[in-house]
Amino acid sequence: MSTVLIALPIPAGSTEEMARGFAQEINAKLDEFAKSRTALGVTQEAWAVQDLPDGGQLFILCLCGDDPVKGNRLFAESQQAFDRWFKDKAGALLKANFDQPLPPITRTLFDWHA
């Protein structure tokens, strides 16, 4: 299994909306979410927020699967109803274009697997 990490700056004021609103909406659509990610070959997805010393925040996305880079690309290309809803909602919150593959972390310094 491979992992891809993606970090995006969070626009000021978006964190609470992401945490409360969007995360709750995803939980309500968990079956659709799972179906989407399974079709993309993504077997695990995690979201996190990193607080920065200057008061800014980063949204950290972790995608796992046999080929999460391909899953990222397929998601960008997808026009399935759930994926379109997700991209529109997440894109507005993060001011990011989810119709393009999200850029992974520039370099991995250490990666250990058992």
For the chain, percent of residues with pLDDT exceeding 70:
100
Q: What angle do CA 86, 92, 97 make, to 5 degrees?
A: 75
Domain 2-94 fold: Alpha-Beta Plaits (3.30.70)
Query: 14-18, 91-95, 101-105: which range is least confident on average?
Result: 14-18
pLDDT, average across residues 52-77: 95
Give me the residue spans of the domains in the chain: 2-94
What's the whole-model pTM score? 0.88
**How confident is the model over 18-27, as pLDDT tens digits?**
777 888 899 9
Phi, psi torsion values for 61, nearest 5 degrees:
-115, 130
